[in-house]
Structure formats: C-alpha cells, structure tokens
Chains A and B, each alone.
Chain A
Amino acid sequence: MIPELGHFALIVALLLALIQAILPLYGAQRGNLTLMAVARPAAQGQLLFALIAFICLAWSFLANDFSVLNVARNSFSQLPELYRFTATWGSHEGSLLMWVLILAFWSAAVSVFSRHLPEDMAARVLGVMGLISVGFLAFLLTTSNPFERLLPAAMDGNDLNPLLQDWGMIIHPPMLYMGYVGFAVAFAFAIAALLSGKMDVAWARWSRPWTTVAWAFLTLGIVLGSWWAYRELGWGGWWFWDPTENASFMPWIAGTALMHSLAVTEKRGAFKAWTVLLALVAFSLSLLGTFLVRSGVLSSVHAFATDPARGAFILGFLAVVIGGSLVLYAWRAPKMVTGSGFTWFSRESLLLANNVILIAALGSVLLGTLYPLFMDAMGLGKISVGPPYFNAVFVPLMAPALFLMGVGPLARWKEASLPDMVTRLKWALVVALATGLLLPLTQDGFNAWASLGFFLAAWITLAVAAAFIDRLKHGQGGLLQKLAALPRGFWGMQLAHFGMAVGIAGIAVVANYSSERDVRMEVGSYAELAGYTFTFRGTTMYEGPNYRAARGTVEVSRNGKAVATLHPEKRTYNAAGMGMTEASVHPNFFRDIYVAMGELLDDQGDTWTVRLFYKPFINWLWLGTLFMVVGGFMAAFDKRYRIALRRSEVPKNLAAQGA
C-alpha cells in the first residue's frame, strides 16, 4: 500500500506543478491577481506531496519491501538501517525523486521569502519553477517510476553498491542537488525578467542571494564528492577530471561567473543582458550534468541509443529548456538598457575579465567532456581525454583570473587609478613573488607549478589583508568595533577569496610533493616513505553487518617515535561477493598518512601488497573550500537584502496597481 500511496502522491504533485506553472504565468500576462495568487499555495502543496512520496520510498527501503523493484535492486536485508535510508537516493529513480523534492523545497522557499516582490514577478518566478517541476515529475512518472512493483517479490535485495556505503556519499548528493537545483531559482528570475521586460537593479538584488546560496551548496556538494573519492576509492586522488565530476564542475564555473556578474548588475546596473544569459547558462549546465550522469550516455553512447526512453526524454527536455530560453533571450535582451559607463581599469572591467576567463575555462572543460562522446556517437573511434589535457588547459587559463582576484576587490567602481593600486599592492606583490620563488626551494628541487601556486596563494591572501586594512582606515571606534561594523557581504567575499588562497596552497603542495609506494609486506616487515616508517603487524578477520573483512594493522613511526596505528581493510560484501578496499588515514594540519590494502599473496593471510601514501597539505584543500562555503552563506545573508526588502514594500503596491 505504502508504495502506491507514494506513487499517488507523485501524481498529485505533478497536477499541482501544472497548476503552479500555468495559472500564475497566464495571470501575470493578464494582470489577474487571483490567478497569480495561486502560485504560492500550489508550490507549498507540491512540496508537501513530494515529501510524502519521498517518505513512502524511504519507508519501503527501511521496511525491506523487496516487492518494490527499486528496493530489490538497491538494498539488502543485512544493510545497516542508516544505509537503507540513504539507499533511497542511491539509485537512478531515487536520486531523481530527490531532485524533484529539492526543487519543490526551493519553490516553497521562494514562495515564503518573496513577499517583497511585485506580485507579477513572484508569480512568474514560481510559474517557471513549476514548469521545470512538471518536466521532472513527468520524467519520473513515465520513465523512472521509483515505486514500480516486482512480481513475484525478490527474496532479498542486490545490495547498495558498497562504494556508496559511506557517510560522505550520504550527504554529497543532497548538497550537490541543492546547488544544481538552486540555480533553477536564478534561472526562473532571469526568465521572469525576460517575460516582463523589467530588467532593473532590483531584479539583480532579488536574485543575488539565491544565486550565492545555490553556489555555496554546489561548492559543498562538489567538495564532499571529492573528499569521498579520496577516502573511498583507495587511490589517494581527489579529482580525476572524470565526466561525472566535470558534470558538476561546469555549472559551478558558470555559477561563479554569474555571482560576479550579478554584483556588477546590482551595484552599477551594467552587464544586464550578460548576467541574464549566465543565469540561463548556469541552469542549462545543471540540466546537462543531470543528463550526462542520469541518461547512461557516459557508460555507453550505444546503450543510450538502444534504450532511448530516458535519454530521449532528458535530451528533449534539455532542448526545450535551453532552446526556449535562448529564443526568449534573443527576442527580449536587445531591449535591455545598458547601465553607466566605466573605464578600462575599474572594478567593472576587472570583473568582466574574470567572466571572460571563466567562460573560456568552462568551454575547455565542456569540450574535453563532450568531445569523446561526440566522436563515439559519430563512429569516429574511441578516445579518452584525461587529466593531462585538463591540467594543460585549465590551469594556465585560470592563473590570470586568480591573479585578478587580488586586484578586483580593491579597485573602485567606474574608474580606478592604476598608480594608486600599485601603491597599495606593491608590497603584496613583492612578498608574494618572493614566496613563490623561495618556498619551493625549501623542498627538494624547484618546481614551476608549485611556485605559481604559492605565488597566487600568497598574493590573494595579502590582497585580502590589504582590503581589510583599507576598510579599517575609515570609520570610528576600536578595531573590534570597526571589524564588526563591516558588512557581511564584505566578510563573505573576503573569506571566500581567502578560502580560495588556502585551497590553492593545498593543491600546489599535494599535487607536487606527494609521495606513494606500492610494497609487498609480510608480518613484521617494514617500509619507509617520506621519513615515516610503516610496520605491518598482520591482519585479523572480522564480520561486519553485511560484509567480512581482513583488517590490517600498520604501525607508523617517525624517528623511532610512534605516530599512529592504522587499520586498513579489505572487505568482501555478502550480497554479491564484491571486494572493496577501505583505506585508513591519519590526518593532521600538515599532512595525511594514508594506507590501503592491495592483494593477499599467500594462503595464510600473512603477505599482502600494501599501498602507502604521504599527502602533504591535502587538508588545506578541504579547509579552503569550507571557507568558500561559509563565505558564500555569509554574503547571502547580508543585511542590505533585508533592508532592501523593507524598502520595496511601497513599489510592491504600485506594481500591483500597474500590472
């Protein structure tokens, strides 16, 4: 009964989404306030029914209802309860249901926090989000019903892929989707603006906090995925330029460009058409990412062709959304009025350069991701584009953007003075150059890439400091009072930029000074790596809830002093007999020591191949990105958005009359 209830709730959600899409959009065109007023309750009702559907699916997983196909394929009776719950979004169907749920959540959030918007604007934004919802709900119900029954019911399930049985994987998809789907809000604002023809500074102010929050969630989602891959895949890598990774990275790059372009539109009224275009692009790339990962096109172009229902639906949906929004853009954008002018050296021009570079970098990632698919689909042979391509293109393209990151926040709007900037930043430049040149010398051998990374990290950090010094010269009171008086938007931006610097430093070190060894180890034998001694003390067998494991003991010491005792595991999962390597990591602020078990070489269980890693500064990478996430949230909750909210109470009434 429960799965049918869930299925029914999804159908109700689809009907509500249709109402949410059609009536308010029509009402907004006609100036009919009654029809426009339907948007909010419809969005909230949709959230309620999407939530009911989600709870029904989660219940089926928790209750081990193997008469549901999705549960039989992706769960197992011995699976711990927590993973049975998270298996709810471990499958294709379940993750799409989560997509729908999160979209409904964002729509409901817009319905609550849009009281200050003119009625027609709110109705259009919610209407567009309703349209997106209709597309996804129809996709779910027609091609990927998560509640499909299996008759006769399976005795037991096939198990959740063991790689997904990890808490990094529990929160990675929801966070990633909060980001992906969050760009739907920016997209809906852009479409609403194009429909109404009202492209003003207020529009940018409304959509800016939503975009920043979505960006922060997406950043968190990507980092969690990277952190999961690092710990769980047992290869010690944190970014592989894999198409599934690129699928989430491309919307992130577009979203980053959008955030910066929105700043110009809000503050100066410039770049309007460009900002709208970026909002369309960011969400289109989110859809493309969903398509790439969910249609099966990545595992095989031909599988996509032979089982076309899902792929064709998403491709058609993609064409409608991207094509439709671009046509609307081409029709409406020329009417937008350009804002006030600026000189070649100003904050506007620097942010413009940032945008151009980001889009070029985005293009290079897009090409590297889609080109192999294109070649394969055309029957021109199978190729793969690996990390060397992306590193050779992406890093040199991004380096100038990262350099400008130091200059931009200090430059004045409209017209900045070059001599003035030189005075303010010359010491930062000298110190950063010295850091870049000298720091690699403390390691064995000079390395140009590490040098570039250290220079950029130091440069951005010093520029952040210079921005604070600049701000603290003015104002009254003590240092703490002055710091507290700085707006949250300023704090957020500086913290995110500083996070980038910390992350770059981490990447520069870990990419150039890591070391690893594959060794054969017997009980009592030892191996050396990066000044650490690893002694193997053998393995013991133990039974996990749904697996058996050989648990190794490796003692790590340095100069005779014990550092850590690590317990890497080699697991065999009961359901399918699948083997899994569970690495063991000893982290600290300056390095990770990482041990993974390879293969058993004898019958007694005494001799193994073991993989040892020394990963310096890897945790700076996670720490830096965490700063970026926190910075994003701080900026989104800046006071001026709430003040603007109160101020716009009056125009709201005027707009309602005018509509």
Chain B
Amino acid sequence: MAMKPRHRKLALIVLVVATLGVAVALVLNAFNSNLVFFFSPTQVANGEAPTSRAFRIGGLVEEGSIRREADGLTTRFAVTDTAKTMPVIYTGILPDLFKEGKGVVAEGRLGADGLFAATQVLAKHDENYMPPEAASAIEQAQKAQQTVAE
C-alpha cells in the first residue's frame, strides 16, 4: 500500500518538524549551560564577571609574575590588560607558548578571594599570534585609559 503523495508530504513534514524540534531543544539547552563568556581583567575588576560560573579571561602574562610552587606543577601568574591585573593559579603543564609578556587566554572560575583558578590555559599554534580575546582586552583597556587622560 503505497502512500498517497498528500500523505507522504504530511509524513515528511511531521518527521522534519519533529527532528527540528528535538534539535532546537538540544541546542537551547546546551547553549544555556555551555556558552563561555569572555571578560577582560578590567571588567573583572569592575565586578562584571560572574562568580557562579566559568568564564574566560585574556591579556598578557605580566613580566616577572610567574611563580612555580614546590610541587613543580602548580603555577601562579598574573594576567594584565595593561590597566588592571588579576592573579591566576593553574595546576598542570602549560602550553609551549606560555611566556611572560606574551598573550594568554585562560578558562576557569573566580574565587571569593579574587584569585582566578584556571582549569585550562589555551595554547595557540604560532609564536607571534596573539589570541584575539587577549588582543581586544588590551585594546579596550588602552582606549579606556586614553579617554580618562583626555
């Protein structure tokens, strides 16, 4: 018993709508809980960053700020956008291109003490490449400073 074209079209529409419905539900659900927002050290200092969920910060690793703890795996450093600086702690092996004075992006949570506990420090593939988030954080901080000076 072959379907009539009209029925077939109806069945097709039902199938497509059902699948799209499931897809949209999954996407909305996942978007809510898995989007990671980015904040610059200045924004964090102004209290714009959430304390309840993970986010990303970016900027330069401040010169002379890298301290390694005795276990050899825990590292403390500071991320700056040239206006504000924030302390970060990370346990694990850092990427090859993590250096003082170079751009960095870290993902993690902000503690009540203002210390950013990073779960991930992002590696990029090129020596001269600046992570775009870090670059924009510095750019914005410098713009803000200029406005203040004027």
Contact = CB atoms under 8 A, between A and B. Distances in A.
Interface of A: 161, 163, 233-235, 299-303, 338, 340-344, 349, 352-353, 356-357, 360-361, 363-364, 367, 381-386, 388-389, 392-393, 396-397, 414-415, 518-520, 576-581, 596, 598-599, 601, 607, 609, 611
Contacts of A577: 127
Nearest to B127: A578
Interface stretch (B32-40, B77-85, B108-116, B142-150): B32-40
B3 A581 contact: no
Contacts of A396: 22, 26
Contacts of A520: 71-73
Interface of B: 1-5, 8, 11-12, 15-16, 19-20, 22-23, 26-27, 29-31, 33-38, 56, 68, 71-73, 91-94, 96-97, 123, 125-127, 129, 132-133, 135-136
Given A341-B2, A341-B5, A392 B35 contact: no
Contacts of A381: 37-38
Contact of A300 (B16, B33, B37, B132): B132
A356 B19 contact: yes
19 contacts: A234-B96, A299-B132, A300-B136, A303-B132, A340-B2, A342-B2, A343-B2, A360-B20, A360-B22, A360-B23, A367-B27, A383-B37, A384-B56, A385-B31, A385-B34, A385-B36, A598-B93, A599-B94, A607-B72
A161 B97 CA distance: 13
A356 B17 CA distance: 10
Contacts of A356: 15-16, 19
B81 to A, nearest CB: 13
Contact of A392 (B5, B26, B132): B26
Contacts of B23: 360-361, 363-364, 393, 397
- Most B C-beta atoms less than 10 A away, residue of A361, A364, A599: A599
- Most B C-beta atoms less than 10 A away, residue of A392, A576, A580: A392
B140 to A, nearest CB: 11
Contacts of B29: 392
Contacts of A353: 15
Contacts of A234: 96
Nearest to B2: A341
B26 A383 contact: no
A283 B16 CA distance: 23
B38 A609 contact: no
Given A352-B12, A397-B26, A342 B38 contact: no
A385 B20 contact: no
A518 B91 CA distance: 9
A609 B125 CA distance: 21
A351 to B, nearest CB: 12
A601 B27 contact: no
A609 B72 contact: yes
B38 A382 contact: yes
Nearest to A580: B96
A383 B132 contact: no
A599 B36 contact: no
- Most A C-beta atoms less than 10 A away, residue of B27, B38, B129: B27
Given A364-B23, A385-B35, A518-B93, A163 B125 contact: yes
Nearest to A235: B123
B16 A579 contact: no
Given A385-B36, A389-B31, A599-B93, 14 more contacts: A341-B3, A341-B4, A344-B3, A344-B11, A356-B16, A356-B19, A360-B23, A384-B36, A386-B36, A388-B34, A520-B73, A580-B96, A599-B94, A609-B72
